[in-house]
Structure 1
Amino acid sequence: MGTIKTDLSGYRKIEFARSPVGVKFQYFKPHDLPPLDAGRVLSLCELITEAQDTKSPFYFSRKMDDQCVGKIILGMADMESFAQSGQIGARLKVFQEPRTNYILYQHVPRIEKDVVNYVAFSPLDKLSFEPDLLIISATLAQAEILMRAMCYSTGELIRSTTTPVMGCAWIFVHPFKTGRVNYLIPEMVHGMHGRQLFPRNSALISIPYHWISTISENLSEMELHLTSHRSKEAYLEEFGEILRDLNESAKNP
């Protein structure tokens, strides 16, 4: 760890209410970061807000306790048999019966057991490591800009994949293992909704290392706030003018 090579300047053009958080999965202990405060027992998703609230980097380890399924998702712990059978989701009334909760688990991505021993977290301006993920809590307007930046030079599809429980898997594991940017609405995930971790009507976006530089470069280059987004009238005027110009130019290509 130390000075990072990845250009993150594009993200600083957007005035996020809460800092983007860099995340890194590690087998060996990160000696230049402090551990999570010993008095803090949090869920995996809460570690994002912990980095935002404390404005300081830290690491979480398999030896620490958590409040939810984070260590299971990270391959640091096994799921209890009663949980694996789907009992919890049915009692929470998220699922009709345990069987549907059980069936859903086959879709939830996890890191293989004993691959990750530590997870480093850092707010954007304190990053001293090359992040595996950049996780951003954004307003819907800011989310549109970020996802447009992904598409701007690539034509990539915008995708959102999640499940009503174990949403942390789709923010931490899915982007890391697939290389795909993913986003979700926190209120659609049971734990995030119940814990009230993120602002209402916001999006949580996870950008894997494959995309961090591309999106940053595109944010630096492209126009963030489009004329057509100012109002319906502005949209119709700009779109109409473009069509008129192209129709005229197409007469003599």
Structure 2
Amino acid sequence: MIKTHTARLIAVLALLGVAAFPLYWMFVTSLTPSEQLFSPSPRMLPTLSQIATYADAFTETSLRLWLVNSLIVAVGTTALSIGLAVLPAYALSRLDFRGKLLLGFALFMTQMLPEAMLVVPLYDIFTQLSLLNTLLGLILANTAFTVPVVTWILKGAIDGVPSEIEEAARIDGCSRLGIVLAVVLPLIAPTLAAAAVIAFFHGWNEYVFAQTFISDDTLRTASVGLASFVGELSTPVHTVMAVGIVYTLPAVVFYLFVQRYVVAGMTSGGVKG
């Protein structure tokens, strides 16, 4: 038993090491002097005397503004996606109406369209609606891609909620909307967290729309700002890695904050009475 436990512990630590090594390598590279970046023998330990690289990333670039813009887009995409997906998910799970299968299939088919295919028509629509060079435009574009996914995720969770619970609430005089908000949503809270993570990461990492719809430097997101360091003649690798570390941390922290709910949402097959 002890040997089995030790073997599992070693396996878990090995997997954690493999998962964390890219971040560690980015950190080491960000603290490596430029003249040593391409030396024959790679450095495995960071040069802490180069820690000022991170301060320079904030003072010499618009990194702080990029992160704020990305956060606004990610949070807006998450909130709007969850808000728009709840009622369609409940309808697909609980209601019988004409065209139900067609609606579900249509939501599924939207995921077969790549973002690049819709850039031109969306650009034209956003031009007419004065949504170019606005973070609201990015939020709406990202939400259009995340709502179908979130809808299907929430539908699966609602399928696992016993209908007897809703019938009891209906007998007590609760309206259909009240049942969804006060009864169903609390029961599928872990799945809501899992859906929120998917929507947040999509809004945080999205690049194509952010690059196409935003031309104002003050509205750049961090993904576009990070790509802007790649130059035709040279690229400041250590600066790119430092900005990459800072760009990655908020998403990692957000995931760590909700991971217990995400795991519960992925593993729950029903509702415990």
Calculate the TM-score normalised by the size of structure 1.
Answer: 0.23
Question: Which of the two has greater helix per residue?
Answer: 2
Question: Which of the two has greater strand per residue?
Answer: 1
Which structure has the bigger radius of gyration?
2
Calculate the TM-score normalised by the size of structure 2.
Answer: 0.22
Q: Larger relative contact order (C-alpha < 8 A, sep ≥ 6)?
A: 2
